[in-house]
């Protein structure tokens, strides 16, 4: 227990998850339901950023296309609901299938390239998706479409901010746990090794492309779930979700929280959307302030918020004097 208290990178995520679990009850008690809707949006973006982190942080695949999968998830709710199908399991199944197939096809093309080529191709595919949904005039076109009915999961519906919050929290908790397990799993270790040195990984017998493609497809499917949450939260689906700026926001969230870390995307989503909301309360020109703040944070803390917490980690009950004394025998032993 003492060791845990001296490791902020361990206990801060635990405390934050506990706070997120308690927030709806506190918000209802103080009569401030607005905070439930606000943090529900943060949870949805945290799910998307954590999904992107699988491709970007673990696999080193820097792409501008994940907004495509958020948009697919949103319309996987809105289009069936428009035709009278409000079954939430059907919405999720369509999301996972559509995102998986789209990511598989686009990934086969995109992953043949690296660097700026991969960025541009993923951006191009996302823009193709954007213009596809804009062209659907019978479903609102570029004006988007109002959700005819929220997703229904058995006796529960995602028709309120509280319900979406609960669903988002469960998805995020499970996804974060899975990402933690993935880091030390063979698949995750190969993926992370390929990010560092793909040639060496291929030389020892692991084909890099299938691993990256699998990670890209899984990342897309998880990102689609965030679109399902956002569509129900906003009761609206819009092509704007597929814009390149949404993909840019997700990358900033991952970088802000800490690339390749398990909990970084969650911290990044809360910090990013929290700063946005605070600045909006003070000025309508909040973007003028918000942009430089993000740039400064990225330059000062290159390892993100989780990196800053890791720097605060220290051994329990160890003062600088005892640390120096303990280090001396080790140095002598090295000689």
Token pair of 273 as six digits: 């959307």
pTM above 0.85, yes or no: yes
The confidence band for 279, taking pLDDT boundaries of 50, 70 and 90, is confident
Q: What is the pLDDT of residue 284?
A: 81
Please state, in angstroms and rounded to a whole number, the distance separating the CA atoms of residues 78 and 86. 9
The average pLDDT across 36-58 equals 95
Predicted confidence (pLDDT) at residue 4 exceeds the cutoff of 80: no
Q: Coil, strand or helix: which one is 152? A: strand
Q: What is the pLDDT of residue 314?
A: 62
Who's near 39: CB < 8 A, 6+ residues apart? 20, 23, 165, 270
Determine the distance from the C-alpha atom of residue 245 to the mean position of all C-alpha atoms in its chain, rounded to a whole number: 15
Share of the chain above pLDDT 90, in %: 66
Please count the CA atoms within 13 angstroms of the CA of 8 that sit on its side-chain side.
10
The average pLDDT across 32-43 equals 94
The CATH code for residues 2-314 is: 1.10.3470
Among 148, 160, 153, residue whose Cα is nearest residue 87: 153
Predicted confidence (pLDDT) at residue 216 exceeds the cutoff of 90: yes
Please state, in angstroms and rounded to a whole number, the distance separating the CA atoms of residues 295 and 45. 20
Predicted confidence (pLDDT) at residue 316 exceeds the cutoff of 80: no
Q: What is the pLDDT of residue 331?
A: 37
Q: What is the pLDDT of residue 48?
A: 96
Predicted confidence (pLDDT) at residue 1 exceeds the cutoff of 60: no
Determine how many CB atoms are found less than 10 A away from the CB of residue 226. 31
Note the pLDDT tens digit of each residue in 84-124.
Answer: 999 999 999 999 999 999 999 999 999 988 888 999 999 99
268 vs 285, residue with greater confidence: 268
Q: What is the pLDDT of residue 330?
A: 38
The average pLDDT across 131-159 equals 92
Kindly tell me the sign of the dihedral angle through the C-alpha atoms of 56, 241, 221, 208.
Answer: negative
Question: What ranges in the chain are assigned the alpha helix state H?
Answer: 2-5, 8-29, 34-53, 66-82, 88-110, 116-134, 161-184, 186-196, 198-203, 208-234, 244-257, 264-282, 286-300, 304-312, 320-334
Query: Of 53-57, 85-89, 99-103, 329-333, where does mean pLDDT reach its minimum?
Result: 329-333
Please state, in angstroms and rounded to a whole number, the distance separating the CA atoms of residues 259 and 256. 8
The average pLDDT across 13-28 equals 94
Burial tier of 39 (Cβ tally within 10 Å: 0-12, 13-18, 19+) = buried
Token pair of 307 as six digits: 């990196």
């Amino acid at each position: 227990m003492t060791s845990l208290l001296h490791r902020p990178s361990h206990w801060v995520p635990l405390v934050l998850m506990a706070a997120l679990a308690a927030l709806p009850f506190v918000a209802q008690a103080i009569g401030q339901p607005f905070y439930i809707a606000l943090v529900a949006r943060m949870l949805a973006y945290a799910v998307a950023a954590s999904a992107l982190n699988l491709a970007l942080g673990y696999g080193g695949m820097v792409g501008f296309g994940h907004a495509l999968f958020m948009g697919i998830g949103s319309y996987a709710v809105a289009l069936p609901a428009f035709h009278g199908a409000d079954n939430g399991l059907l919405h999720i199944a369509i999301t996972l299938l559509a995102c998986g197939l789209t990511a598989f096809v686009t990934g086969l093309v995109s992953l043949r390239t690296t660097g700026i080529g991969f960025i541009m191709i993923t951006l191009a595919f996302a823009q193709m998706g954007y213009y596809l949904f804009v062209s659907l005039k019978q479903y609102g076109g570029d004006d988007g479409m109002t959700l005819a009915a929220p997703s229904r999961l058995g006796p529960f519906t995602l028709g309120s901010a509280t319900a979406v919050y609960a669903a988002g929290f469960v998805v995020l908790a499970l996804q974060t746990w899975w990402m933690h397990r993935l880091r030390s799993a063979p698949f995750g270790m190969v993926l992370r090794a390929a990010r560092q040195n793909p040639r060496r990984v291929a030389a020892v017998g692991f084909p890099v492309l299938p691993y990256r493609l699998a990670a890209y497809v899984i990342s897309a499917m998880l990102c689609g779930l965030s679109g399902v949450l956002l569509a129900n939260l906003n009761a609206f689906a819009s092509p704007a979700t597929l814009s390149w700026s949404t993909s840019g926001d997700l990358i900033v969230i991952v970088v802000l929280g800490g690339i390749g870390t398990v909990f970084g995307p969650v911290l990044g989503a809360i910090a990013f959307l929290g700063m946005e909301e605070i600045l909006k309360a003070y000025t309508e020109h909040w973007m003028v302030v918000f942009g430089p703040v993000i740039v400064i944070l990225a330059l000062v803390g290159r390892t993100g918020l989780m990196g800053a917490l890791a720097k605060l980690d220290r051994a329990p009950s160890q003062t600088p004097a005892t640390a120096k004394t303990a280090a001396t025998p080790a140095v002598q032993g090295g000689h």
